[in-house]
Structure 1
Amino acid sequence: MTQTDRRLERAIIGLLERRAATSSICPSDAARAVYDGDDDGWRALMEPARRAAWRLVAQGRVEVTQGGRPVREDEARGPLRIRRAGW
């Protein structure tokens, strides 16, 4: 795992901790939090942010949702949201 991967995981957890228990975030929120620039370079971190979310799902720390319902990685298509596990 790279340092960027670890930073993305920490960003996801940190962003969720700062929100209401039932709130969710977009993978782009984590990508923007980790990117160190003023342009659209954060977009290159979108896929790594999604992978970070799936690693956290495997650890039981978060859920990835679509339409407000948890989805598995193999069934997820399109925009995703990330929320704390158990909501």
Structure 2
Amino acid sequence: MSENVRQAILDALAAQSQGRSIDPTAVARSIAGSDERLWSRLMAPIRAEAVRLAEEGRLVIVRKNRPVDPRAFKGVYRLRAPEPSSED
């Protein structure tokens, strides 16, 4: 299951314009459909996978459009791709 969640998060981020964030509920709905009972069960696994991906540097967790510590955030959050590195 976590591999499906991971891939759904990465696919949703790839579909966004750079700098735009995604709502984790959209990821849940992309996996489970519109039935709230089904997709709401995915919210904890999505959060856990988002934390792992943030620790790997593959995404940024944001609250109020500001990056947060992946291990110490509470409440409503969104996911965004990291800024591209400016290596010349």
Please list every run of at least 4 consecutive aligned residues from structure 1 whose deviation after the TM superposition is greater than 6 angstroms: none
Amino acid at match of 2:2: D
Structure 2 unpaired stretches of 5+: none
Report the alpha carbon displacement of residue 19 of structure 1 after superposing the two structures with TM.
1.2
Match of 1:44 in 2: 41
Match of 1:71 in 2: 68
Distance 1:22 1:77 in 2: 22
Q: Percent identity between the aligned chains?
A: 31
* Higher fraction of helix: 1
| Between 73-82 and 57-66, the greater mean CA deviation after superposition | 73-82
Report the alpha carbon displacement of residue 38 of structure 1 after superposing the two structures with TM.
4.6
Match of 1:14 in 2: 11
Computing the radius of gyration over CA atoms, which structure comes out larger, 1 or 2? Answer: 2
Structure 1 unpaired stretches of 5+: none
Distance 2:34 2:70 in 1: 31
Amino acid at match of 1:63: V
> TM-score scaled to structure 2, two decimals?
0.85
> TM-score scaled to structure 1, two decimals?
0.86
Report the alpha carbon displacement of residue 52 of structure 1 after superposing the two structures with TM.
0.9
SS of corresponding position for 1:82: strand
